[in-house]
Amino acid sequence: MASLAGAGLQFHTIAHHTSVSEDARAAVLANPGFGTHFTDHMVTIEWTDGRGWHDAVIGPRQPIALDPAAAVLHYAQEIFEGLKAYKQTDASIALFRPEANAARFNQSAQRLAMPELPEAVFVEAVEKLVQIDRAWIPDGEGASLYLRPFMIATEAFLGVRPAKQYKFIVIASPAGYYFKSGAPAVSIWVSDYTRAAPGGTGAAKCGGNYAASLVPQAEAIARGHDQVVFLDAAEHKWIEELGGMNLYFVFDDGTLLTPSLTGTILPGITRDSLLTLAREEGLKVEESRYSLDQWRADAGSGKLVETFACGTAAVVTPIGKVTGRDGEFTIGSGGSGQLTQKLKAKLVAIQRGDAQDKHGWIRKIS
Ligand code: PLP
Ligand code: COI
């Protein structure tokens, strides 16, 4: 039991002996995939109006009981985060920028009219889950323990207003590569659908945004592509982001461009980390608007040499081909580019503890 700074709470731990054999776990860790296997424990913390956060428990991972009138089931009052714990080369365990996820979680909470969770509590909850389930962290290139903190409105009430009761939960899932194909670059489909409009919830990490992305994503898959790219809602012209990743464009003079955070794009922590790393490399990085027409023209003329997607799940993933209603274009050679590989290597080296952590991004777990 340890105190939760800022919340006056203590975690209660309910020991749970795994029902999974060592051999079965080893088989999962050897080939974890993404999001299909889960660890033995979960964290839950309750919030009620007037009482605030209480009953912090680390217990066996199990189904949660919800009243059929629970607000989350009707009005989608839900937010989540995604971050990873890495087994470092020296066998220690570390989280990458968990404080940044905690801060974004609270920004999402504000937008969805939910209570904020003290950042120290968010980080401690994640740390405690990693500690207790450390046997589930896979080793090796591209492998990590993916952590999914989330909050749901649990109050049984059908009126449309912010709920007065919530549950914060953290679950964990051993993870490998997000994209199954293993291809050197992914192909993307330019959607006619809109992900987020000005004044909407695009900058928040709420489940509703992802529900709305499922039809466009399914359309991309049906057409033989890996992911969908969304354009802005007003003009259907400016490139925003993928369903679950931000974008970077690389030009032949070594300049990088990433769409600016207009309020409709999720402010990615990987995006932000790469901005810092690229500037440190002496590269010129621009945050601005970039249109689909310009992307196509620049890819055609050779001015644009690389494009990559970035995010916690996808890390840094090159984009080789882009298809939309107006046809298809290839970026560079259609594979992975040099700067994409260089930036990915820099980021992964920090996450793995192979490079100096100059920015205080690594949080070691004992
Ligand atoms: N954009 C969207 C819509 C996402 O879901 C994600 C993933 O979390 C990202 C971008 C990348 O964010 P991050 O780098 O913080 O994982
Ligand atoms: C993440 O990268 O953490 C996300 O939440 C994206 C999702 C597509 C898995």
Structural domain contains residue 17: yes
- Residues 337, 214: one domain? yes
Of the residues 118, 151, 175, the one at which a domain ends: 175
> Pocket residues for ligand 1 (CB within 6 Å)?
82, 241, 244-246, 266, 268-271, 311-312
Which atom belonging to ligand 2 lies closest to the Cα atom of 311?
2
For residues 84 and 94, give the distance between their C-alpha atoms in angstroms, rounded to a whole number: 8
Q: Is the CB of 312 under 6 A from ligand 2?
A: yes
Give the model's pLDDT for residue 9.
86
Q: What is the mean pLDDT of residues 170-183?
A: 85
Structural domain contains residue 75: yes
Ligand nearest the Cα of residue 266 is 1
Of the residues 125, 153, 175, the one at which a domain ends: 175
- Residues 42, 142: one domain? yes
Structural domain contains residue 362: no
Question: Per-residue confidence at 225, pLDDT binned at 50, 70, 90?
Answer: very high
Structural domain contains residue 52: yes
Q: What is the mean pLDDT of residues 248-276?
A: 97
Instruction: List the CATH number of the domain containing 244.
Output: 3.20.10.10
- Residues 108, 194: one domain? no
Residue 192 token pair: 């006619």
Of the residues 141, 175, 209, the one at which a domain ends: 175
- Residues 121, 22: one domain? yes
Rounded to two decimals, what is the model's pTM?
0.96
Q: Greatest CA separation found in the chain? A: 61
Which atom belonging to ligand 2 lies closest to the Cα atom of 34?
9
Question: Per-residue confidence at 182, pLDDT binned at 50, 70, 90?
Answer: low
- Residues 119, 246: one domain? no
Residue 342 has pLDDT above 90, yes or no: yes
- Residues 53, 171: one domain? yes
- Residues 150, 230: one domain? no
Structural domain contains residue 288: yes
Q: Is the CB of 149 under 6 A from ligand 2?
A: no
- Residues 170, 212: one domain? no
Q: What is the mean pLDDT of residues 175-180?
A: 84
Q: What is the mean pLDDT of residues 228-243?
A: 97
Which residues sit opposite 4 in a β-bridge?
9
- Residues 169, 195: one domain? no
- Residues 347, 201: one domain? yes
> What separation in Å is there between the alpha carbon of 245 and the centre of ligand 1?
5
Helical ranges in the chain per DSSP H: 22-30, 71-75, 98-111, 119-132, 207-222, 269-280, 292-301, 338-351
Domain with 194, as residue range(s), is 186-352
Return mean pLDDT, the chain.
Answer: 95
Structure confidence by residue, pLDDT tens digits, 188-220: 999 999 999 999 999 999 999 999 999 999 999
The number of folded domains in the chain is 2
Structure confidence by residue, pLDDT tens digits, 69-123: 999 999 999 999 999 999 998 999 999 999 999 999 999 999 999 999 999 999 9
> What separation in Å is there between the alpha carbon of 341 and the centre of ligand 1?
19
Give the model's pLDDT for residue 140.
86
> What separation in Å is there between the alpha carbon of 59 and the centre of ligand 1?
28
Q: What is the mean pLDDT of residues 151-156?
A: 98
Residue 98 token pair: 């968990």
